[in-house]
Amino acid sequence: MAVNNGFFFLLWILFFAGFRSVGGWQFADVCLLLGIIMTVVGIAGVFFGGYRDMAGAILRAEADALLTQPKAVLPRLLARESLAHGWGDLVTGTAILATLAGLEAARLPLAMLGVVLGLVVYLSASVAFASLAFWIAGARSFARDLTDFLLLFSSYPGSIYSGPTKLIAFTILPAGFVVLAPVELVREPTPAHLGIAVAAAVGYASFAILVFHMGLRRYQRGETPTSGN
């Protein structure tokens, strides 16, 4: 994964060798964006790796054993697996943030806060996508595709999005809140940018928890599909 990220990053290096900026985004800004998204995905994979196939776990009825225990189901579904390739993302992301993102020491706490807020939105969106499995038998591949599209949207400067794509990037596939809002918070640490990033994290987390528990109640009543692709 580190090698894969390296090749992707090389494309941006080649781009900025010929162009000074893209829509007002300079090389350090893109490094900040890539560093945040790679770190977010790395942390999610290493510590909450169950998110990648949560829809499959629901469809395979793997939540049955968890329902017999007193602890909350959602955190254990997230923590049930750790993805080895997440370490590649985590190492690459933190290395980019530490060396190429142009972060001053005073902005490091903001960058860490941006990563945390982006992580909350990313995991929340993934949980909401996976929760479709409580209603749709074929939700496993669909949920993974939506998460992959979210990563794709999160890997490019926000200036390339306009019209319908910008609406999608701040709603259904919330790349705007996974990485663009944290980047703006680090670049311009104003109360407005902080409020937007925090409100997005709280809002998406609340929505994901609500959708998951609505589906879990269906699951407990035996109304959930039991298999799918």
Position with higher pLDDT, 73 vs 24:
73
C-beta of residue 178 within 8 angstroms of C-beta of residue 150: yes
pLDDT digits (tens, 9 = 90+) for 207-227: 999 999 999 999 988 876 755
> Per-residue pLDDT tens for 99-153?
989 888 888 999 999 999 999 999 999 999 999 999 998 899 999 999 999 999 9
Q: Tell me the residue range of the domain where 183 lies.
A: 2-15+22-220
Q: Could you tell me if residue 53 is inside a domain?
A: yes
Does the pLDDT at position 168 exceed 80? yes
Q: Could you read off the pLDDT of 59-76 as tens digits, one per residue?
A: 998 888 888 887 899 999
Q: Is residue 226 part of a domain?
A: no
Domain contains 228: no
Does residue 37 fall inside a structural domain?
A: yes
**DSSP code of residue 179:** I
55 occurs within a structural domain:
yes
- Cβ–Cβ under 8 Å, residues 52 and 45: yes
Residue 113 lies in a domain: yes
88-97 residue pLDDT tens? 999 999 999 9
Backbone torsion region of residue 102, taken as left when φ is above 0, otherwise alpha when ψ lies between -120 and 50, otherwise beta? left
Q: Which stretches within the chain are classed as H helix? A: 2-18, 27-47, 54-59, 63-67, 73-79, 85-99, 108-130, 139-153, 164-169, 175, 181-187, 191-220
Q: Tokens 């998406």 sit at which residue?
A: 204
Check whether 229 has a pLDDT greater than 50: no
Q: Number of folded domains in the chain?
A: 1
Q: Is the pLDDT confidence value at 177 over 60?
A: yes
Task: Give the pLDDT confidence score for residue 126 in this predicted structure.
Answer: 97
What are the C-alpha distances in Å from 69 to residues 54, 73, 89, 102, 223?
18, 8, 33, 47, 21
Task: Give the span between the Cα atoms of 212 and 158, in whole angstroms.
Answer: 29
Whether 48 has a pLDDT exceeding 90, the answer reads: yes
In a domain, 72, yes or no: yes
10-38: average pLDDT: 88
- Domain for residue 227, yes or no? no
In this predicted structure, the answer to whether residue 228 has a pLDDT above a threshold of 50 is no
Looking at every residue in the chain, the average pLDDT score rounds to: 91
Specify the pLDDT at position 159: 80
pTM for the model stands at 0.92
Are 224 and 132 contacting, i.e. CB atoms less than 8 angstroms apart?
A: no
In percent, the amount of the chain with pLDDT more than 70 equals 98
- Using one digit for the tens of pLDDT, what is the confidence trace for 197-206? 999 999 999 9
pLDDT of res. 226: 58
